[in-house]
Amino acid sequence: MSSKNNLIDQAKVHFKNRNYQSAKIILEEALATDPNCSQAYEFLAYIAGNSGEADLSHQLLEKACSLNDCTSSALYYLGSSHLGLGNHTQAAVYFEGAIKKQENFFEAYHDLGTTQAYLGHKEAAKNTYIKALSLKQDSPELYYNLARLEDDFRNYEGAIQHYNRSIQLAPNFVAAIINRAIAFKELKKYPEAFASYDLAIKLQPTCADAWSNRGVAFYDLRRYEEALASYEQAIKIQPSHTEAWINKSTVLHDLKRYQEAIEAYKEATRLNPRGSLIDGSLIHLKSAICDWSNFDNDFEYLNQKIADGINVISPFAWLALSDSEQLNLRVAELFTNDQYPKPKIIVPFRKHIDKKKIRLGYYSL
């Protein structure tokens, strides 16, 4: 009978050649020899993951990582699995464990930074990303994530620098191009913003986010017809794009096309019943065309939302409905951190690996 180590080596060769069934048979033989063979569980997890059995892969990785001699790669991939499931606290534990075992593990540092960002630990995430950058300088996802953090810090110049580097490394990285455009818009550098939006649309004409955010830039400049055309193109591409519907209703309101604005708000409400400002804007628009049906109930509903600390109506719209100075102040406070039209596309922080297949390059043979 072959030794456990020989069996693992044989299984690795079959795995590398994608002979998963042969590898699985050998790994099961290794477990018969040693039921606590962590590498056998680890490779069985990789086979399950590459075969589309995500739940089984996660379970096998948990078994591998419960054993003392588990590898840094097993810890990393279990952390990656938790990150994909949104279990950010658990993900951080396993990424940190992988780093303890392998000090210069770029992927673990990168995805630990992403996990910290999702947990809201932005300064820690930035420091972790900088450590990752010291290990590798050619990852477009890393520069993208650093830019996203600078966006959150409102350091738009710094964000643009990182987006530029990300785009240099990955010229077709549409999300980076769009977010760079948003950063330019925040700095009121509109020619640069439009150039980035145009590039994103050229690369991906069916990107609804690019069209919707381009509309926001036009709206800022009070080029309402061009904004409306951009929003409508976004909706044509993606009829469920809530932000585009909200932005469309906003510009229709400013064009005094109130009935059309109401219909757009109704569609936004249907798509996202809990969307911020949608209900309040709809009620305000109804009053603008003297539609007082159900007004008492609507007004009571708005008062309750405001009392609950929910940003449900803009200060301008609220002033047309209420003369309470206390409520007016509260509405203004709630509005300051959440305004329409929405410019952000809410592109998440990126994991290092977007590919489904586990590759040999991420652990030692």
The answer to the question of residue 291 being in a domain is yes
CA 23 vs CA 20, 29, 70, 305, 355: distances in Å: 5, 10, 19, 59, 22
Q: 107 in a domain, yes or no?
A: no
User: Mean pLDDT, consecutive 10-residue segments, the chain of 365 residues?
Assistant: 83 90 93 93 93 93 94 95 93 97 94 92 95 95 93 94 97 94 95 97 96 94 96 96 89 90 85 60 55 64 72 60 68 58 43 37 31
CB of 61 closer than 8 Å to CB of 42: yes
Give the number of domains in the chain.
2
60 part of a folded domain: no
Q: How many CB atoms are closer than 10 A to CB 193?
A: 24
**What gap in Å lies between CA 357 and CA 46, rounded to an integer?**
8
The token pair at 330 is: 């509260």
Residues 37, 70: Cα–Cα separation, whole Å: 9
User: Which structural domain range is residue 300 located in?
Assistant: 275-335
The answer to whether residues 167 and 237 belong to one domain is yes
Same domain, 187 and 237: yes
Alpha carbon 231 to its chain centroid, in Å, reads 21
Nearest-angstrom CA–CA distance, 161 and 146: 10
Out of 197, 219, 242, pick the residue that ends a domain: 242
Instruction: Mark whether 185 and 237 lie in a shared domain.
Output: yes
pLDDT for the residue numbered 319:
61
Contact between residue 228 and residue 251 where contact means Cβ atoms under 8 Å apart: yes
211 located within any domain: yes
pTM given for the model: 0.79
Report the CATH number that the domain containing residue 206 is assigned in CATH: 1.25.40.10
Same domain, 281 and 218: no
Residue 123 lies in a domain: no
Structure tokens, 103: 């000090």
**Same-domain status, 236 and 161:** yes
The last residue of one of the domains, among 224, 242, 260, is 242
Confirm if 313 and 280 have CB atoms less than 8 A apart. Answer: yes
Sign of CA dihedral 174, 180, 184, 185: positive
**Are both 293 and 228 inside the same structural domain?**
no
Within this chain, do residues 238 and 290 fall inside the same structural domain, yes or no?
Answer: no
Q: Final residue of a domain: which of 242, 261, 286?
A: 242
65, part of any domain: no
> Same structural domain for residues 283 and 331?
yes
Q: Classify burial at 202, counting beta carbons within 10 Å of its beta carbon; exposed 0-12, middle 13-18, buried 19 or more.
A: exposed
Q: Measured between alpha carbons, how far is 223 from 50 in angstroms, rounded to an integer?
A: 50
190 within a domain of the structure (yes/no): yes
Evaluate whether 13 touches 39 at the Cβ level (below 8 Å): no
Q: Which of 164, 218, 152, 225 is nearest to 191 (CA)?
A: 218
Cβ within 8 Å of residue 89, ≥6 positions away: 119
The verdict on 217 and 286 lying in the same domain is no
Q: Looking at the structure, do residues 222 and 293 belong to the same domain, yes or no?
A: no
The answer on 210 and 168 residing in a single domain is yes
- Any domain includes 346: no
In degrees, to the nearest 5, what angle opens at C-alpha 55 toward C-alphas 49 and 59? Answer: 90
Residues 219 and 284 in one domain: no
